[in-house]
Amino acid sequence: MKLGLMASGNGTNVQAIIDAVSKQEISGQIACIVTDNPNAYVIERARKAGIPYLLAQPKAYNNRQTWEESIANYLHQQGVELVVLAGFMRIVGQPLLDAFPNRIINIHPALLPAFPGRDGIGDAYKAKVSQTGVTVHFVDEGIDTGEIIAQESLTIEEDWTLEDLENHIHAIEHELYPKVIEQLIQNH
Ligand code: GAR
């Protein structure tokens, strides 16, 4: 199974997937990485791992449609079968959804449907809930609304800072995402 990863920032989830592939905990291959951000550290990770990448900034295209179509074409050219959003901070629209029907997944740092959007960790922290967690889900046309594949919950201890919570969430993500990807490959 050829994976296409999409990320906008640091790329620690991408790194966890790269590491799981090299340890053969994921039986697929990473065909390519797509980013929308020229300053994303994930580009450095792609270079170090020798993985081809595409930088596709929306402003370099005429409109959203052509931006997404170019990404979809690139992913198809690389033979991608499953698109894995890993900290990709833009909404995926119809051109990509149509190009990869039911084959785009995302990781979100909260227990969806609670705290969708850009800052799932901060929003849960500010709301002072006692439980939050991580969700892996299929991507549909909504914002963090697609069918849930897996969730792992976490109790927020009273003395935790926001940074403590971030660290715990990321540790769960880095374990959970590779496991779920491998399950999807096995069930394919
Ligand atoms: C991750 O926590 C991921 O769940 C989140 O962005 C972070 C990216 O970190 N994604 C979303 O909030 C999507 N709505 P990373 O670049 O270090 O993998």
pLDDT band at 171 (very low <50, low <70, confident <90, very high): very high
- Residue range(s) defining the domain that contains residue 45: 2-187
Mean pLDDT of 50-72: 97
pLDDT, tens digit (0-9, with 9 covering 90-100), for 111-169 = 999 999 999 999 999 999 999 999 999 999 999 999 999 999 999 999 999 999 999 99
Sheet bearing 131-138, strands edge to edge: 53-55, 29-35, 2-7, 82-85, 104-108, 131-138, 148-155
Say how far apart CA 167 and CA 182 lie, in whole Å.
24
pLDDT, tens digit (0-9, with 9 covering 90-100), for 74-94 = 999 999 999 999 999 999 999
pLDDT, tens digit (0-9, with 9 covering 90-100), for 7-47 = 999 999 999 999 999 999 999 999 999 999 999 999 999 99
User: What are the distances in angstroms from CA 111 to CA 100, 116, 123, 149, 170?
Assistant: 25, 9, 11, 12, 14
Task: Give, using CA atoms, the residue closest to atom 5 of ligand 1.
Answer: 87
Mean pLDDT of the residues in the chain: 97
Residue 163 is predicted with a pLDDT of 98
Residue 47 is predicted with a pLDDT of 98
- How far does residue 107's CA lie from ligand 1's centre (Å)? 7
**34: β partners:** 6, 54
Residue 10 is predicted with a pLDDT of 97
Q: Tell which residue, 3, 7, 6, 51, has the closest CA to residue 28.
A: 3
Catalytic residues: 108
Residue 82 is predicted with a pLDDT of 98
Domain count along the chain: 1
pLDDT band at 176 (very low <50, low <70, confident <90, very high): very high
Q: Tell which residue, 113, 104, 188, 86, has the closest CA to residue 141.
A: 104
Half-sphere exposure of 91 (CA within 13 A, CB side): 12
Q: Tell which residue, 109, 116, 115, has the closest CA to residue 165.
A: 109
What CATH code is carried by the domain that includes residue 65? Answer: 3.40.50.170
Contacts of 8 (CB under 8 A, 6+ apart): 35, 36, 37, 40, 42, 87, 88, 89, 90
Q: Tell which residue, 89, 106, 90, 171, has the closest CA to residue 144.
A: 106
> Closest ligand 1 atom to the C-alpha of 119?
12
Q: What is the CA radius of gyration of the chain?
A: 16
Q: Which of 5, 6, 12 to mutate to test the pocket of ligand 1 (most atoms within 8 A of CB)?
A: 12
Which residue type, as a one-letter code, is found at position 73?
N
- How far does residue 120's CA lie from ligand 1's centre (Å)? 9
Q: Which three-class secondary structure state does DSSP give residue 155?
A: strand
Residue 83 is predicted with a pLDDT of 98
